[in-house]
Structure 1
Amino acid sequence: MGTAEIAERLGVSRVRVHQIATTDPSFPEPLDEIKAGKVWLAEDIERWISKHRPPARS
């Protein structure tokens, strides 16, 4: 997943994803960095979301 996909999944901006990724030590390490930016394993991001983002209330 790239920053844009993570932003969409979290409902935040790409800038906010960058802030989280650089300041939250629990955020997964990126798998690699390509010209378009850092990329993460989707499984790592989904695991982080399940631990750190409570489900939305209806």
Structure 2
Amino acid sequence: MAETTPAAGEGTAGDEPYPMGPEEIRVRLGVSRQWAYTLIGRKDFPDPWRELAMGAVWRSTDVERYAVERAKRLAKGEGEDE
């Protein structure tokens, strides 16, 4: 039976990592498409896991770690610079 990739936001921290493209990252972070691409281009965003013909993909575990750290920064009122 073929494995399926979990939908954005599904799974737990202990699950096996799966690839996430910009759209899945956008949904997970709850941001606009434009802001997702801005965040992906920042120095503090994880490096892509693989470069495919369709574009870069990231490990879900790396994106989740980034999302947690980002939420902590935003909760402290640190905001986000472009």
Structure 2 length as normaliser, TM-score? 0.58
Whole-Å separation in 1 of the counterparts to 2:33 and 2:46: 16
Residues 51 and 7 of structure 1, relative CA distance in 2, 3 Å threshold: same
Q: Structure 2 stretches of 5 or more lacking a match?
A: 1-19, 76-82
Q: Which moved more, 1:25-34 or 1:13-22?
A: 13-22
**Percent identity of paired positions between Structure 1 and Structure 2:** 38
Alignment partner for residue 41 of structure 1, among 46, 53, 59?
59
CA–CA distance in structure 2, aligned partners of residues 33 and 16 of structure 1: 21
Higher helix share: 1
Report how many residues are paired: 55
Q: Is 2:32 the counterpart of 1:13?
A: yes
Whole-Å Cα distance in 1 between the matches of residues 48 and 26 of structure 2?
Answer: 15
- CA-to-partner distance for each residue in 1:2-35, whole Å, 9 max, x for gaps? 000000111112222111111x211100011212
Specify the SS of the correspondent of 1:53: helix
Question: What RMSD in Å do the two structures reach over aligned CA positions?
Answer: 1.9
**Which stretch shifts more, 40-49 or 29-38?**
29-38
Task: List gaps (5 residues or longer) in structure 1.
Answer: none
